[in-house]
Structure 1
């Protein structure tokens, strides 16, 4: 673990929020070498308890309270990106081309195009409704759906905006909760974040200026390679 962040040293959401604000990017699980992760910082016995100290529930408090963008932004792994870093992160990682342009260039799947069009029209849509709207409820279409949703997060088109409880006809909780999505632009506007003023290289330079002195050289090098940054 990188200096200053000891294993199992975090108990509360507020403590985690301070760390996310300071280091900018926090993966949920171990991912970046010599860099903290949410599961590494917290106690295993607090996970999936449903209490206020359950780190699993915090993952959606962050985007819900506008403290961090959340999604599978790198190597199909979920990370939190602080609201201060997020505009630069979008500019440094996201595509400058629209999803339609990328599809025409063979750089995006047809499923991703379909799903993004639906999310644009139904901000905060949950997974079950999204699959139904896209006509992808069939079991054999689940993999294509999951891949397209991950693709849209990696390209910074959408973020995970929350979790919706599954309810029965009486309004009682019934079964597993469902992830909900909204477009990156909508989430940023909702939380008062402006687009980064600068190009991709300037955004990368801004992020590097924040990482230097806080992140380990190993963590920075890994991130540069993962995102193809110079």
Structure 2
């Protein structure tokens, strides 16, 4: 997707393209096969939902054919994590590959340990503190507009750059968009745009599973990610892969 004269131009495929994704099940199958997939054009030819769907199918509101609606469906799927994982842009990671991403992107750190080592900002901690569990909690999921207020970034708060902090935490795999929901009026009726519901992958899949690749070096996990891209997209070069998937660790 590119912007020309203030207008978004989609880089969609032809309707008769054999690789075209026609349904959300097609998308689920592709993400399951590759392991991860950006939503929008990624710089690596063919490696996005955008390039495997027709431009006319987007933003129609038809959940059967609209990839923008598919992201809502798959965000809550038990085998899929959705979030801003690809150069600060949205996409999908399959459950089977998520621990590899978590180990590489976190550099082997749980968030609290990273903060204790002064490698995470106090603003990021204020966001992550909102997801702390008490003894009765199974897990927390919080609408992003509510999270903004809880963490002190709202109109009555003092913190700034909520969007940037939220993106950073997703890039580091500490947060995912676990669902989408709408606001409710006083009568309990929903209205307005669908808003991202934030959660942790540990809440979705459990701590042991999410951190199950912690036994290997982050560099080994990175090599697995690179190898997976090259397996499916042989023309992708190291510079493209690094730009899309690498992360600069805090403190480096």
Equivalent residue in structure 1 for 2:234, among 184, 198, 216: 216
TM superposition score normalised by structure 2: 0.77
**Is 1:13 matched up with 2:24?**
yes
Q: Equivalent residue for 2:74?
A: 62
Contact kept? 1:34, 1:216, Cα under 8 Å? no
The range that moved more, 71-80 or 214-223, is: 214-223
Q: Indicate how the Cα distance of structure 1 residues 150 and 139 shifts in structure 2: closer, same or farther if over 3 A, else same.
A: farther
Matches for 1:1-230 after TM superposition, within 5 Å: 7-8=13-14, 9-52=20-63, 53-103=65-115, 105-121=117-133, 123-138=140-155, 144-189=161-206, 195-196=212-213, 197-218=215-236, 221-225=239-243, 226-227=245-246
The gaps in structure 1 that reach 5 residues or longer are 1-5
Q: Indicate how the Cα distance of structure 1 residues 142 and 70 shifts in structure 2: closer, same or farther if over 3 A, else same.
A: farther
TM superposition score normalised by structure 1: 0.83
In the alignment of these two chains, the number of paired residues is 223
Provide, for residues 163-184 of structure 1, a one-character-per-residue CA deviation record: whole Å limited to 9, x for no partner.
1111212222222221111112
CA–CA distance in 2 between the matches of 1:152 and 1:104? Answer: 16
Which structure: greater helix fraction?
1
The range that moved more, 40-49 or 193-202, is: 193-202
Q: Indicate how the Cα distance of structure 1 residues 219 and 139 shifts in structure 2: closer, same or farther if over 3 A, else same.
A: farther
Contact kept? 1:95, 1:156, Cα under 8 Å? no
The gaps in structure 2 that reach 5 residues or longer are 1-11, 15-19, 134-138
Q: Secondary structure at the match of 1:174?
A: strand
